[in-house]
Amino acid sequence: MQPTVSQSAAPDYDIGKLSIVKPRHYGRWLAAAAILAILLFIVKAFADGQIAWRVVGQFFTAPAILSGLVNTIAMTVCAMALGITLGVIFAVMAMSPNPVLRGTAVLYIWFFRGTPLILQLLLWFNLALVFPRIGIPDVFSIRTVELITPFVATLLGLGINQGAYTAEVVRSGILSVDSGQTEAASAIGMTRLTALRRIVMPQAMRVIIPPVGNEVISMVKLTSIASVIQYSEILRNAQTIYYANNYVIELLFVAAIWYLAVVTVLSIGQHFLERHFGRGQRKTASAQKTGALT
């Protein structure tokens, strides 16, 4: 028979008297101190540097800078519109059972993703060396030099290049939708294109919007490459000004601030778009959580 321990002999633990000791995250404090030191060093460097901040304010709303800003935004909108249109078309072609359409889409994506963007811009800008005139013989034709202006060359270069990347994004979004949706649409008599437009694409937008939003933000910055073919976007106009007055860093700051402002506005818009197209998923997750609790 085992000996019993009396209640008075048992150790007395009063949980209410115990204090909660928070863990000490020394690594976090060290990382925060290092980051703060680096930021202070950068701020001090800019404060002590020979930067004429009055020039930044003077040229921030200069007509040439604002004109370049308008051209940057206009090119971003036009190039993304062309890129998204081509992306949807070639994504559908890449998933087509027709081998000719599928092969054409694969070739398009392979070529424009495999060559540098600046090379494509230069090819479009110098298209007149290959095709002196564009049109229908004996009916209508125009000199290629007159047709392929810096704006048109930039639009074609950026838009067609973007279409190759957007095609892969759209294709991944379509593949994310359960195949049963397409089968159900086919069972009630919908054509493949109708099912794609009314059933598949609305559901695929939840997957498509975030990467396309990032591509829009990238396009704002990619327009600066067009300065090599004389397109007057904001960076090229800033360069033109500082070539004349030698305020290089000041004009670069002006361009940087405008780029950050445009990207910030687009990022906010992307956030609300993602919330809009993610409503169905949030409702489903909320309903599943409520069902699990009940």
Classify residue 183: in a domain, yes or no.
yes
Per-residue HEC secondary structure of 5-34 comes to CCCCCCCCCCHHHCCCCCCCCHHHHHHHHH
Instruction: Let me know if 144 is exposed, middle or buried by CB neighbors in 10 A (0-12, 13-18, 19+).
Output: middle
Model pTM above 0.75: yes
Classify residue 88: in a domain, yes or no.
yes
Classify residue 82: in a domain, yes or no.
yes
| Residue 143, domain extent | 72-231
Residue 95 has pLDDT above 90, yes or no: no
Cα→Cα distances 126→37, 119, 258, Å: 50, 11, 31
Classify residue 256: in a domain, yes or no.
no
Classify residue 158: in a domain, yes or no.
yes
Instruction: Specify the length of the chain in residues.
Output: 294
Classify residue 132: in a domain, yes or no.
yes
Residue 5 has pLDDT above 70, yes or no: no
User: Which pair of structure tokens corresponds to residue 274?
Assistant: 């993602």
Instruction: Tell me the CATH number at 116.
Output: 1.10.3720.10
Across 241-248, average pLDDT = 89
Classify residue 93: in a domain, yes or no.
yes
pLDDT digits (tens, 9 = 90+) for 129-185: 888 888 787 778 888 888 889 999 999 999 999 999 999 998 888 888 777 777 777
Confidence class of residue 67 from pLDDT cuts 50, 70 and 90?
Answer: very high
Instruction: Let me know if 79 is exposed, middle or buried by CB neighbors in 10 A (0-12, 13-18, 19+).
Output: buried
Classify residue 252: in a domain, yes or no.
no
d(CA 10, CA 234): 80
> How many domains is the chain partitioned into structurally?
1
Q: How high is the pLDDT of residue 280?
A: 56
Confidence class of residue 194 from pLDDT cuts 50, 70 and 90?
Answer: confident
